[in-house]
A and B are shown apart, each in its own frame.
Chain A
């Protein structure tokens, strides 16, 4: 991810009120983490599994934080149980920042990722999680703002699937 996009992503998350991020770093969006660290307005929590990232973000959200989880698309499959039991069934607003690996627009797509990518939206739809795809820098700030607004309105997890320009 280009530095300019990382800066804009973090600025948009901050503008939308996000102040807590549990994360399992990966290769496409990881540049947002040093930007968040320097910014200083985010509580950043590294995890051992995307499953616990969801639970930790849920606890933070119930405690008054505006919480996000940053993960690779593969982590969605790891955390499906937690998204269902805590996110969807309990009803907790969490923003999912997902590197949409294996999607059509994923500039690093390969046989390693495509079998995840072509099932990612299906998993989200089965879980009842609303999502927006962010493939172009032009739509970045708007999509983040829209997703956060929907997350608070539904009191449910909402996902942003980053691909295209964000995977270069």
Chain B
């Protein structure tokens, strides 16, 4: 399964869902295909799950998707027990697991290429719906359910390492602009002020 194909299929189906992305090539690919105000690109590893938890708690009526990587989740495993116990029914996590230190350009195998099973770690942490998919049809099934049904989902997507994102022109929308675009979108759609303070 190729990550870009998953995103190509999913992007046109998104409406008002919030999407939080971390750092790997998914950030580039999703940003290229989506370009939605509801997308929050964090541009860092180890933060997406936590930020998404905060968003899901603050806006329980909005669905929050998280696109993570194996490396980013391994960097923040402490999120999993917290997520399990909070159990936000409006959150769906998709971990694109290429089983490699891919961004390093040497592609050495990561822990998930060895003995580590992230879905089992999530399950052991208490996340009941924690599964691994490796075929596009199975990804579509999980994503369709995430779009239409409540309930916390943790889906590890085993993907081939792909370097296609390196051919995509990087966005010139920096992190601060991304934040303001996202916040202004929420202010407009939620009808409330997010940031306080006027000049």
Question: Helix, strand, loop or mixed for chain B's interface?
Answer: helix
Interface size class of A (residues with CB under 8 A): 35 or more
Contact A82 B58 (CB under 8 A): no
- Chain A residues with CB under 8 Å of B44's CB are 85-86, 89
Contact B54 A55 (CB under 8 A): yes
Contact of B53 among A51, A56, A91, A92 (CB under 8 A): A56
In the assembled complex, B46 has its CB within 8 A of some CB on chain A: yes
In the assembled complex, A43 has its CB within 8 A of some CB on chain B: yes
In the assembled complex, B114 has its CB within 8 A of some CB on chain A: no
Contact A91 B54 (CB under 8 A): no
Q: Kindly report which residue of chain B lies nearest to residue A92, judged by CB atoms.
A: B179
Shortest CB-to-CB span from B85 to chain A, Å, is 8
Question: Are A63 and B78 also in contact (CB < 8 A) when A55-B51, A86-B42, A90-B179 are?
Answer: no
Shortest CB-to-CB span from B25 to chain A, Å, is 18
Shortest CB-to-CB span from B189 to chain A, Å, is 11
- Chain A residues with CB under 8 Å of B58's CB are 20, 43, 59-60, 62-65
- Chain A residues with CB under 8 Å of B46's CB are 51, 81-82
In the assembled complex, A132 has its CB within 8 A of some CB on chain B: no
In the assembled complex, B81 has its CB within 8 A of some CB on chain A: yes
In the assembled complex, A137 has its CB within 8 A of some CB on chain B: no
Q: Kindly report which residue of chain A lies nearest to residue B45, judged by CB atoms.
A: A85
Q: Which of B140-193 contact A (CB under 8 A)?
A: 175-176, 179, 182-183, 186, 190, 192-193
Interface residues of A (CB under 8 A from B): 17, 20, 22, 43, 45-49, 51-67, 81-82, 85-86, 89-93, 152-153, 155
Interface residues of B (CB under 8 A from A): 20, 40, 42-44, 46-47, 49-59, 76, 78-79, 81-82, 85-86, 175-176, 179, 182-183, 186, 190, 192-197
